[in-house]
Amino acid sequence: MFDASDPAFLADPYPAFAALRTEGEVHHHEGLGLAITVSHAATGAVLRHRGLGRIWTDAQPLERFASFNLLHRNSLLENEPPAHTRLRRVIAGEFGRGHVQRLRPMVARLASAMVDTLADKIAADGSADLLELLAQPLPVAVIAELLGIPADDGPHLVAWSNAIVKMYEFGLPAEARDAAEQAAADFVAYLRSVVTGEPGGIVADLVASELTPDEVVATAVLLLMAGHEATVNVIGNGMLALLTHRTQWERLGSDPTLLDSAVEELIRFDAPLQLFERTATEDVEIAGFRVARGEKIGALLGAAARDPKVFEAPDVLDIGRSPNAHLGFGMGIHYCVGAPLARVEIAAALSALSTRLPGLRLAGEPERRPEFVIRGLRTLPVTV
């Protein structure tokens, strides 16, 4: 069984998943303290099963994690119907496919301007960090624009988000848990000041909706965090994959019609969210494995994405892959509401990079984030 803290595993977890898959579709992982799925079929079954839900349990002790618990207790992501249905209905229209498609020109302009800055930095210094100048700021700028939040506040939002999501990892040290609570408290205070001021964009719509004040804050924070974490890591992981599979990068540059399929392949090839937990609300059986009521099971999205029963040559990066039934944005009622927007942002970044910097190359060894659940990079140095 893999060690989720082993740097060698974090560098490339997929061989370990493949080895487990030969032994069965579901395994109990002693280190993580829950069952995990390693096949596409079992992972999809976990995501769809109505006897498996997102059942929030407050972080303990309550007085130590007041803000972190407030954000999650009132979150769309951590609730089941009817609360989930009510919360999702309020924001679903804002992220519908038709509405998001109208945002393409705005997203493309932002991506183009950021790639110009990246190119200028490379020209001046010889190299630059693609994460710092494009992957991080692009999704934050887009979601801040939609929420009606000043773009200059972006760095604070990124820092808070990065600290909070560490709580989703296993075996987190006490100081990191305290940092997550402090970030949550700062995020709550920031959003409450926005809400009680003169909010615009989606925040104004949330305030005018049926949501409680705490639900407004929690929903806005979720949109900012989810709108940042997934996209930044697909762009970072994806560009690393393309630059280390040079023929695919050159293929994209010579054939822009592959842009949409490239986006799907990058989401599949190195999933930004590796594990999504569910809790059994009744006794459930997944691929012959019994999950008793109250027990947790982790859907390993990254493992599902490399299942040879679904994907031909799953360890090969193929930007023209079709069909591509990855589970990178989930399934069922918790399917990512922001998936259409994330796809637009990733496509805009790839288009701007392949057009403006076709000779882009790695300028050094990227630094990987030392976490398992949220898979991404800290730095991605590039040159031309």
pLDDT in tens, the chain (384 residues): 999 999 999 999 999 999 999 999 999 999 999 999 999 999 999 999 999 999 889 999 999 999 999 999 999 989 999 999 999 999 888 887 777 888 999 999 999 999 999 999 999 999 999 999 999 999 999 998 898 999 889 889 889 998 999 998 988 899 999 999 999 999 999 999 999 988 999 999 999 999 999 999 999 999 888 878 889 999 999 999 999 999 999 999 999 999 999 999 999 999 999 999 999 999 999 999 999 999 999 999 999 999 999 999 999 999 999 999 999 999 988 888 889 999 999 999 999 999 999 999 999 999 999 999 999 999 999 999
- Distances in Å between the alpha carbon of 177 and those of 53, 164, 246, 269, 313? 24, 8, 40, 30, 40
Backbone angles phi and psi of 37, in degrees to 5: -100, 140
Structure tokens at 48: 């769809």
- Distances in Å between the alpha carbon of 368 and those of 12, 162, 353, 372? 11, 14, 21, 10
* H-only helix segments in the chain: 7-11, 14-21, 40-48, 66-73, 83-92, 97-101, 104-125, 130, 137-147, 154-165, 174-196, 201-208, 213-244, 246-254, 259-269, 301-304, 339-356
In this predicted structure, what is the pLDDT of residue 202? 92
CA pair distance 384, 375, nearest whole angstrom: 26
In this predicted structure, what is the pLDDT of residue 72? 94
Single-letter amino acid code for the residue at 242: L
In this predicted structure, what is the pLDDT of residue 55? 86
CA pair distance 349, 94, nearest whole angstrom: 22
Closest CA to 52 of 326, 373, 339, 330: 330
β-sheet bridge partners, residue 52: 280
**pLDDT one-digit tens code per residue, 178-187:** 999 999 999 9
Annotate 236-284 with DSSP letters as a single string: HHHHHHHHHSHHHHHHHHH-GGGHHHHHHHHHHHT-SB-EEEEEESS-E
Contact 233, 86 (CB under 8 A): no
In this predicted structure, what is the pLDDT of residue 98? 76
Closest CA to 186 of 18, 39, 102, 71: 71
**pLDDT one-digit tens code per residue, 139-181:** 999 998 898 999 889 889 889 998 999 998 988 899 999 999 9
In this predicted structure, what is the pLDDT of residue 151? 85
In this predicted structure, what is the pLDDT of residue 359? 97
323 burial type by CB count under 10 A (0-12 exposed, 13-18 middle, 19+ buried): exposed
In this predicted structure, what is the pLDDT of residue 96? 75
